[in-house]
């Protein structure tokens, strides 16, 4: 009996000590001061102190762990241990000066470090008496999406709550589109007398852009079975012939899009059953309504590619451009896009190298030489998590920039995963399936890894997902609320009427 007590009493004391010290350790490592000892970027601390979570109406101050860890009893300790080890590793073995803190403040990154349960723990009532009608509608939508099992988060709309950002906005942007391009105002569009590259001029504006003459030809569309990272919708490879056409040197810029917006914007109007084929004058075009928030993500407008604009916006822009220039502008077919992107090459990229030589492993591995791809593509490894201006990269053999990156681009074809398998016999200027629900998107973007910026890589629009947090009812047909990595590039047909203003 004495022997039992000799072991029991010390064990009990040790257990008490462990519990007490463990509890102390948990509390000691959960203070804001302790968090900042590893997170040595003053931007986060300063933006927190300017946020509504620092100075609340009740006087309570929300602390780091209350937002970045789940509530106690809901996986708090395991998540705290995992997060702590990750932060300690970064503190000891990584250079904090190399971190892109601006990118880490964006929604996509925040989703991984702000558990939804943390938000709902402090805000269990989503319909307080002080909530506005718009707020109630937004929360009703949130509840409806949750019931459907959709991945919608509080921070989709309240990203600014924990870390203040003066440029962030989630309201109607009534001041959008006031920018103007200073310089020569063009009185007439470019005159095209033969098939060669030209600079288009948008009449009554100071905006111009280069159109590159793309020779017709035959090429192998798709990727072979042995291409690294190939997906099934990229084949089977088909031999395709395309006629000559013009393609814009770069993606449609904010300068170009805002010229269209200034002439056609119709606040409060939609374009349901809008037949663009019947429109003959600019005055008849129902243009985009003002967006919510900052559609350029505050990365800058000017020469950067337009983002957030919907497929409908892209089609309407092309119609407007056709009317004001007298040419036939439109979105490229998928075949035209790939022919132009290849620049006469049959390899995964139009430059030397293969995906396996550029794709970085998530684990410790030998550093890969990405010099070549960095010259031609704005993608995950060099984009700084945002779009870049055309001067950031070199052109492909046809003289086109950013075909494989910066922003993905709309094509006119409907998307199906078996499009190529459906094609029979020799193909000339194919236009894709006769019907569908989503359209083809080609080329990677600033957020794409190297394997997703291969020439043959295919994607599609995801209209419902890209409008998930749009607070309007009905949702906008002009702007995506959740897609900032897709833009578009125009092509122009060459015929006897090209350049003759109607």
Contact 201, 189 (CB under 8 A): yes
Identify the CA nearest to 461 among candidates 316, 313, 251, 255: 313
Q: Which pTM was predicted?
A: 0.85
Residue 452, C-beta contacts closer than 8 angstroms, at least 6 positions apart: 229, 379, 444
Between residues 199 and 367, the one the model is more confident about: 199
Residues 429, 242: Cα–Cα separation, whole Å = 5
pLDDT in tens, 361-409: 765 556 788 999 999 999 999 999 999 999 999 999 999 999 999 999 9
What was the pLDDT predicted at 371?
Answer: 94
Rounded to an integer, the average pLDDT of 51-64 is: 85
Rounded to an integer, the average pLDDT of 78-100 is: 78
Strands ordered across the beta sheet of 486-487: 458-460, 439-442, 408-414, 486-487
Contact 404, 377 (CB under 8 A): yes
Phi first, then psi: give them for residue 247, nearest 5 degrees. -135, 140
What was the pLDDT predicted at 323?
Answer: 96
What was the pLDDT predicted at 365?
Answer: 53
What was the pLDDT predicted at 348?
Answer: 97
What was the pLDDT predicted at 169?
Answer: 73
> In the chain, what percentage of residues exceed pLDDT 70?
90
Tokens representing residue 87 in the block = 């932060």
pLDDT band for 18, please (50, 70, 90 cuts). Answer: low
What was the pLDDT predicted at 502?
Answer: 43
pLDDT in tens, 281-310: 998 898 888 898 889 998 999 999 999 999
Assigned fold of 198-360+367-492: 3.90.1580
Query: DSSP readout, 380-401?
Result: TTTSTTS---GGGS---TTS--
Residue 3 has pLDDT above 80, yes or no: no
> Which range has the worst mean pLDDT, 43-57, 189-203, 376-390, 416-430?
43-57
Residue 6, C-beta contacts closer than 8 angstroms, at least 6 positions apart: none
Domain ranges of the chain: 1-28, 31-158, 198-360+367-492
User: Can you give the three-state secondary structure of 429-474, one letter per residue?
Assistant: CCCCCCCCCCEEEECCCCCCCHHHHCCCCEEECCHHHHCCCCCCCC
Q: Rounded to an integer, what is the distance from CA 38 to the centroid of its chain?
A: 30
Tokens representing residue 46 in the block = 């300063």
Between residues 460 and 37, the one the model is more confident about: 460
- The three-state secondary structure class of 200 is strand
């Amino acid at each position: 009996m004495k022997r039992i007590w000799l072991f029991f009493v010390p064990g009990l004391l040790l257990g008490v000590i462990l519990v007490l010290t463990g509890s102390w350790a948990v509390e000691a490592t959960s203070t804001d001061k302790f968090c900042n000892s590893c997170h040595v970027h003053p931007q986060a601390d300063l933006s927190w102190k300017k946020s509504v979570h620092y100075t609340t109406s009740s006087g309570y101050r929300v602390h780091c762990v209350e937002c970045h860890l789940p509530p106690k009893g809901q996986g708090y300790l395991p998540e705290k241990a995992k997060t702590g080890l990750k932060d300690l590793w970064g503190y000891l073995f990584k250079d904090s000066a190399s971190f892109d803190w601006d990118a880490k403040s964006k929604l996509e990154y925040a989703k991984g470090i702000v558990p939804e349960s943390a938000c709902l723990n402090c805000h269990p009532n989503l319909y307080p008496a002080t909530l506005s009608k718009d707020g109630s509608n937004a929360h009703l939508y949130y509840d409806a999406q949750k019931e459907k099992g959709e991945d919608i988060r509080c921070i989709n709309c309240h990203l600014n709550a924990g870390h203040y950002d003066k440029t962030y906005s989630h309201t109607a942007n009534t001041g959008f589109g006031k920018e103007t391009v200073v310089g020569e105002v063009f009185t007439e569009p470019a005159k095209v007398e033969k098939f060669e590259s030209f600079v288009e001029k948008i009449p009554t504006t100071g905006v111009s852009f280069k159109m590159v003459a793309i020779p017709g030809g035959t090429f192998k569309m798709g990727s072979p079975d042995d291409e690294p990272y190939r997906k099934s919708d990229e084949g089977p490879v088909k031999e395709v012939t395309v006629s000559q056409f013009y393609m814009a040197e770069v993606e449609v810029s904010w300068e170009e899009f805002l010229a269209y917006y200034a002439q056609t914007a119709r606040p409060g109007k939609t374009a349901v059953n809008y037949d663009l084929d019947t429109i003959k004058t600019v005055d008849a075009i129902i243009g985009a309504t003002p967006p919510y928030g900052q559609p350029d993500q505050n990365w800058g407008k000017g020469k950067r590619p337009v983002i957030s604009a919907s497929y409908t916006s892209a089609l309407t822009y092309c119609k407007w451009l056709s009317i004001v220039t007298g040419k036939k502008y439109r979105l490229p077919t998928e075949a035209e896009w790939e022919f132009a992107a290849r620049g006469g090459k049959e390899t995964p990229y139009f430059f030397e190298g293969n995906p396996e030589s550029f794709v970085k492993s998530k684990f410790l591995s030998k550093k890969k030489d990405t010099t070549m791809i960095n010259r031609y593509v704005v993608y995950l490894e060099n984009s700084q998590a945002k779009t870049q201006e055309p001067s950031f990269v070199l052109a492909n053999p046809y003289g086109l920039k950013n075909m494989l990156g910066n922003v993905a681009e709309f094509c006119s074809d409907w998307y199906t995963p078996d499009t190529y398998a459906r094609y029979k016999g020799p193909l000339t200027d194919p236009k894709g399936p006769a019907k569908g629900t989503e359209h083809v998107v080609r080329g990677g973007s600033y957020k794409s890894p190297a394997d997703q910026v291969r020439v043959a890589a295919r994607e599609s629009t995801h209209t419902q997902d890209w409008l998930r947090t749009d607070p309007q009812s009905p949702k906008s047909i002009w702007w995506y609320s959740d897609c900032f990595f897709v833009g578009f590039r125009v092509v122009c047909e060459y015929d006897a009427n090209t350049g003759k203003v109607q």
